[in-house]
């Protein structure tokens, strides 16, 4: 995260989410091609039962950054976060990336 004039405010945190698609023969699943999700904590891979259960571990997450007030200095500051996602070319999708930005937060340091 960089502040005004390119000052570094916090270390970047990289998160990796992994999933693979496979052809399922399970009659309980709603589609024949289905994801197998590998958790970040290196636990056993799991097969979600529905679409929402598949989306949550891949796209819903929270990262925490701590910034010392002394590194910003006195005054009012606007802070925002940027998140980016990229993936490689597969038989069902092209190589691409997406980037999003949070709403700015005003911080006042006295």
The full 3-state SS of the chain, as one line of letters, equals: CECHHHCECCCCCCCCCEEEEEECCCCCCCCCEEEEEECCCCCCCECCCCHHHHHHHHHCCCCCCCCCHHHHCCEEEEECCEEEEEECCCCCCCCEEEEEECCCEEEEEC
* pLDDT in the model for residue 8: 59
Work out the percent of the chain whose per-residue pLDDT is above 90.
Answer: 3
- 65-103: per-residue pLDDT in tens? 777 778 788 888 888 887 888 888 877 778 999 998 888
Average pLDDT estimate for 46-55:
87
Does residue 3 have a pLDDT over 50? no
Predicted TM-score (pTM) of this structure: 0.56
Compute the distance between CA of residue 35 and CA of residue 96 in angstroms, rounded to an integer.
19
């Amino acid at each position: 995260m960089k502040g005004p004039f390119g000052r570094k405010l916090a270390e970047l945190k990289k998160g990796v989410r992994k999933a693979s698609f496979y052809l399922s023969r399970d009659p309980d699943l709603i589609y024949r091609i289905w994801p197998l999700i590998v958790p970040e904590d290196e636990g056993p891979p799991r097969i979600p039962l529905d679409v929402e259960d598949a989306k949550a571990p891949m796209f819903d997450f929270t990262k925490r950054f701590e910034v010392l007030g002394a590194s910003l200095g006195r005054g009012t500051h606007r802070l925002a976060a940027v998140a980016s996602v990229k993936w490689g070319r597969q038989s069902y999708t092209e190589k691409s990336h997406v980037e999003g930005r949070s709403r700015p937060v005003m911080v006042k340091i006295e």
